[in-house]
Amino acid sequence: MIKPKISFSCILVGIACIAISAIPQYSHYTQDRWKAPSWADTLKTPFHREPLTLANGEELFGLYCASCHGDTGYGDGAAGGALGQKPANFHDTLVSKQSDGALYWKLSTGNGNMPPFQDVFTAEQRWQLVAYLRKLTDSE
C-alpha cells in the first residue's frame, strides 16, 4: 500500500483556506466596493434643484428610504439594522463624493438588500431623491 505524501506547503494552503473562510465578511463596509459604471458619471439631472424638487425628494425619502437609511441618512434606520448589511451612510465621503449620476444609477439598479427603484419611481422622482440626498449632506 502506498501512502500519499503531503507536503508542508499543502498543509499551509489548507490552513490558510480555513482561516480565510472563518474571517467574518464585513458587509457593512461594502459601499466602497459598490461602484457605478464610469458612464453613470455622465448622467446629469434634467431638473432644477428647487424647493418643490427637494420637498418631493424629502417626501419620497421619508416614505421609502428612511426606514433603512435613517431619518437623516446616516444608515441607522430601524429596518436597515435587521438586514445584515448596513445601509449606506449618505454623509460618508465614500458616498457623498460620488457623482449625482452614480447615485441615480445605484438608486435605479439596486444592489443586495437595496432594491432597484427603476420600476417603482419615475426618472424625475429618482432625480428628486438624489437632490434631497445632496441637501442632507450639504451642511457638512
Which pTM was predicted?
Answer: 0.74
Domain boundaries, the chain: 30-138
pLDDT per residue as tens digits for the range 99-140: 999 999 999 999 988 999 999 999 999 999 999 999 998 866
CATH 1.10.760.10 fits 30-138, yes or no: yes
pLDDT per residue as tens digits for the range 41-82: 999 999 888 999 999 999 999 999 999 999 999 999 998 878
Model pLDDT, residue 76: 93
In whole angstroms, give the CA distance from residue 42 to residue 85: 29
pLDDT at 22 over 50: no
Q: Closest Cα to residue 103, out of 45, 47, 60?
A: 45
How many residues in total does the chain contain? 140
Amino acid at 137: T
